[in-house]
Amino acid sequence: MSLFALHILASGSKGNAAIVEDTSTGMGVLIDCGISGKALIERSEQCGFDPCKLQAVLITHEHTDHISGLGVCLRKLAKSGVNPTVFAQQASIDGSNTLRELANNHDFRTFKATEDDFVLAGMRITPFPTSHDAMGSCGFRFETETDALGFMTDTGIVTGEAHEALRDVRLLGLESNHDPAMLRACAYPAYVKARIAGDGGHLSNEQSAAELAELLSDRLEHVAALHISQNSNDYRMPGETLRAAVTRASHPANVHVAYQSKPITIR
Ligand SMILES: [Zn+2]
Ligand SMILES: [Zn+2]
267 inside domain: no
Across 183-203, average pLDDT: 97
pLDDT at 251: 98
Ligand with smallest separation from the Cα of 201: 2
pLDDT of residue 153 exceeding 90: yes
pLDDT at 257: 98
For residue 104, the domain's CATH number is 3.60.15.10
Ligand with smallest separation from the Cα of 156: 2
What range does the domain containing 97 cover? 4-262
Those residues with Cβ within 8 angstroms of residue 199's Cβ, 6 or more apart along the chain or in another chain: 131, 156, 157
Q: How many independent structural domains does the chain possess?
A: 1
140 inside domain: yes
DSSP character at residue 9: E
Distance 248 CA to ligand 1 centre (A): 30
pLDDT at 2: 80
Across 180-201, average pLDDT: 97
CA 131 – CA 159 distance, rounded (Å): 7
Distance 143 CA to ligand 1 centre (A): 24
188 inside domain: yes
Q: What are phi and psi of 120, to 5 degrees?
A: -135, 130
Across 155-183, average pLDDT: 98
pLDDT at 61: 98
Distance 92 CA to ligand 1 centre (A): 14
Distance 127 CA to ligand 2 centre (A): 16
What is the tens place of the pLDDT at every residue in 39-75?
999 999 999 999 999 999 999 999 999 999 999 999 9
108 inside domain: yes
* pLDDT classification of 114: cutoffs 50, 70, 90: confident
pLDDT of residue 221 exceeding 80: yes
Ligand with smallest separation from the Cα of 137: 2
Distance 175 CA to ligand 1 centre (A): 10
128 inside domain: yes
Ligand with smallest separation from the Cα of 31: 1
DSSP character at residue 61: B
Distance 248 CA to ligand 2 centre (A): 31
Mean pLDDT of the chain: 97
Q: What is the CB-side half-sphere exposure of residue 243 using CA atoms within 13 A?
A: 9
Percent of the chain at pLDDT above 70?
A: 100
What is the tens place of the pLDDT at every residue in 82-99?
999 999 999 999 999 999
Ligand with smallest separation from the Cα of 131: 2
Of the candidates 224, 180, 229, the residue with the CA atom closest to the CA atom of residue 65: 229
Q: Which residues keep their CB under 5 angstroms from ion ligand 2?
A: 63, 154
Q: Are 216 and 251 in contact (CB under 8 A)?
A: yes
Q: Which of 2-6, 137-141, 154-158, 236-240 has the lowest mean pLDDT?
A: 2-6
Q: Are 257 and 224 in contact (CB under 8 A)?
A: yes
Cα(first)–Cα(last) distance of the chain, in Å?
14
CA 200 – CA 132 distance, rounded (Å): 4
Q: Tell me how long the chain is.
A: 267
pLDDT of residue 38 exceeding 80: yes
CA 198 – CA 134 distance, rounded (Å): 13
Ligand with smallest separation from the Cα of 92: 2
* pLDDT classification of 1: cutoffs 50, 70, 90: confident
Distance 127 CA to ligand 1 centre (A): 17
Ligand with smallest separation from the Cα of 130: 2
Distance 60 CA to ligand 1 centre (A): 9
Kind and range of the H or E run holding 62 = none
Distance 218 CA to ligand 2 centre (A): 31
What is the tens place of the pLDDT at every residue in 115-151?
889 999 899 999 999 999 999 999 999 999 999 999 9
Distance 41 CA to ligand 1 centre (A): 21
Distance 115 CA to ligand 2 centre (A): 22
pLDDT of residue 4 exceeding 80: yes
pLDDT at 139: 98
pLDDT at 36: 98
pLDDT of residue 158 exceeding 80: yes
Ligand with smallest separation from the Cα of 200: 2
pLDDT at 176: 98
